[in-house]
Structure 1
């Protein structure tokens, strides 16, 4: 089976992120096969995905709108709550990294989930994707 994987590294500036959402939304309509977006989206979906810093609600609204219009699914994240930290004096955390999956992808792999791994050389934790294994 062929699938499309797109790596995302969204800009820090909201206006540029909005442009990226529009671009991705336009190209994903041309994919005839299941697809997955994964990477650093540089925004959260809602305030519960950040701690210790400010949550940009406009950015979260735009991200939610992008997810809705693109018809992607934000599959469950296990292992950690936040994927990024700023390591400053007043530390903040956020879930900036994730995989977004097309419904067609989920038809082939209905038990997909994300797992966050603690410990990294970066300010981002590793997030993996795979099928949930039941005990």
Structure 2
């Protein structure tokens, strides 16, 4: 069986980002680098896209990896948090979070946070991507 290999061009990533920024000069670009940079290495892809205004990842560990590697841009946790203890990392590493559910919102409201947290509110517009129920 032949091995399947996916390669990524750092210069192509940088070029594509510059094209997006050229055509949307007033927009901020958030590069989604979840799943270990889609299998190409989280830091490798993030370094290639260092000109992005922010990065989006799924979990805390990827967010911390980016912060500890020196990235100062906005880092968004696409899944939000699932346990109040994760809010400590959100605060310590200055992370933005997505709130998907009433549970996550209540956890955030009841947390004893020292600083404000930037929250992105997930709204189900009918696509039901996360199997949301109406009501």
Q: Do both proteins adopt the same fold according to a TM-score greater than 0.5, normalized to the shorter chain? A: no
Return the index of the structure with the highest Cα Rg. 2
Structure with more helix by fraction: 2
Task: Give the TM-score band, short-chain normalised.
Answer: 0.3 to 0.5
Structure with larger RCO (C-alpha < 8 A, sep 6+): 1
TM-score, length basis structure 2: 0.35
